[in-house]
Amino acid sequence: MRAEPPRLGALIQALCCMPGIGQKSAQRISYHLLQRDRNGAKSLAAALADAMDNIGSCERCRNFSETPVCELCLSEKRDGSLLCIVESPADVFAMEEAGYNGKYFVLMGHLSPLDGIGPQELGLDKLAAYLAGSPGDEAGAGVKEVILATNSTMEGEATAHFISNIVQKHDMRVTRIAHGVPLGGELEYIDSNTLSHALAGRRDITG
Amino acid sequence: MRAEPPRLGALIQALCCMPGIGQKSAQRISYHLLQRDRNGAKSLAAALADAMDNIGSCERCRNFSETPVCELCLSEKRDGSLLCIVESPADVFAMEEAGYNGKYFVLMGHLSPLDGIGPQELGLDKLAAYLAGSPGDEAGAGVKEVILATNSTMEGEATAHFISNIVQKHDMRVTRIAHGVPLGGELEYIDSNTLSHALAGRRDITG
């Protein structure tokens, strides 16, 4: 016999839409919320609905934003001559943690023709227009260097390569973030591809 | 600089109310929902609010229920002479999976004087009244055996002991679920307490 009320079953199913949450975790979470934190759950419901209704995309950088153009794009304190291209909003977060202080362009994915994700889906036409200094929005005209910070995966590399071709049409520097041994990494445990990258990308020590 | 809109920060904080979800998972979940599953997130918000507003406790067994008395308590198909006492709704689920077909009483916790959880909080007065066959609700009068299925922890054992004293005042059988080696368990890997329990609880093989 089904021992749970229908609304509880519905809640458990709905919780499964979150990545990393399966049937068992969803059950545990729903029991916990019902038994111990109903107020927290109500706040969560409100925050979810509020976020989904009010968070859109920035017209300029495509990152999540509550306003047509995001705070970060509008900020005068940031270096407008640097444009960093990343795959996702989480990467923006990571770059901020690393101390980057320029502007961003967020692809919201990577090229993946089999999944129907092409240049159009990544907003590359918007990027090209921005770099050309589109009329009415001159911000892009100040960009001097485009930093490609897509992931170091097959798709990320292909996307970086594709974008570098677009950028090279403009008179700008295009760079790719360095790949190599992570700080604290021990050679013994690093995979051979990373190590061969690190070797090929070796630099002179200037004393 | 804070790279996320305020509502996204609020959502991440709200997600942390779920057990097992920390800051990093909350961030990953919120990005996923915003980028790929806004409809799922909206359904989740609705299911959460709906469940919190409409799921209460069964007046008889204290399990989660949308109606004053739950389906399981009202069911005529279940054996009313058996009453199984468990700590949480998740345990009801586990007992159902195991094929139990009697009635339940859900403590919603275990005795824990340090946390202020005494007999009152576990509804033991309600249990006593039920077993005595309270006027207007004769269901409890049919109970012939009370099965104590609290967890096999220190607190669960103490709770079981306490309840057995209450039940023994009535003319009923009181039993405790068996403890021992789990099916498929190998002696070599079983902890010594479980094994000594299994040894003490050995039974004759009747051919």
Window 40-79 of A: residues touching B by CB (8 A cutoff) are 40-52, 54-55, 63-66, 70-72, 75, 77-78
Query: Which of the 8 DSSP states describes residue B128?
Result: H
| Any B CB within 8 A of A30 CB | yes
Q: Do A47 and B7 touch (CB under 8 A)?
A: yes
Residue with tokens 């038994």: A35
Cα end-to-end span (Å), chain B? 77
Structure token pair of residue B134:
């309270």
Statement: residue B1 has pLDDT above 60: no
User: Which stretch of DSSP H or E encloses residue A47?
Assistant: helix A38-54
Statement: residue A188 has pLDDT above 70: yes
Each residue of B181-201: b (16+ CB within 10 Å) or e? eeeeeeeeeeeeebeebbeee
pLDDT digits 0-9 by tens, A91-126: 998 899 888 999 999 999 999 999 999 999 999 998
Statement: residue A136 has pLDDT above 90: no
- Cα of B200 to nearest chain A Cα, Å: 34
- Residue in A56, A94, A89, A59 with CA at minimum distance from that of residue A73: A59
Q: What is the CA angle A91-A156-A143, rounded to 5? A: 65
Counting residues of chain A whose pLDDT is more than 70, the rounded percentage is 95
Mean pLDDT value of segment A10-34: 94
> Of the candidates A8, A50, A55, which has its C-beta nearest B64's C-beta?
A8
Q: Do B19 and A29 touch (CB under 8 A)?
A: yes
Statement: residue B141 has pLDDT above 80: no
- The pLDDT of residue B3: 63
Which ipTM did the prediction report? 0.81
Question: What's the mean pLDDT when you consider all of chain B?
Answer: 89
Residues of A in contact with B29 (CB under 8 A): 18-21
Neighbours of B84 (CB within 10 A): 22
Asked if residue B99 lies in contact with residue B108, where contact means CB atoms within 8 angstroms, the answer is no
Structure token pair of residue B138:
């004769």
pLDDT band at A198 (very low <50, low <70, confident <90, very high): confident
User: Which stretch of DSSP H or E encloses residue A103?
Assistant: strand A102-106
User: Taking CB atoms and an 8 Å cut-off, how many pairs form between chains A and B?
Assistant: 192
Three-state SS for B119?
A: coil
Residues of B in contact with A48 (CB under 8 A): 11, 14, 33, 41-42, 44-45, 48
**For residue A47, what is the nearest residue in chain B, using CA coordinates?**
B11
Asked if residue B62 lies in contact with residue B106, where contact means CB atoms within 8 angstroms, the answer is yes
CA distance linking residue B159 with residue B86, whole number of Å: 10
Statement: residue A1 has pLDDT above 60: no
pLDDT band at A130 (very low <50, low <70, confident <90, very high): confident
| Any A CB within 8 A of B89 CB | yes
Residue with tokens 């990258």: A197
pLDDT band at B85 (very low <50, low <70, confident <90, very high): very high
Query: Which of the 8 DSSP states describes residue A21?
Result: -
Q: Is B206 exposed, middle or buried (0-12, 13-18, 19+ CB in 10 A)?
A: exposed
Asked if residue B156 lies in contact with residue B87, where contact means CB atoms within 8 angstroms, the answer is yes
Q: Do B28 and A7 touch (CB under 8 A)?
A: no
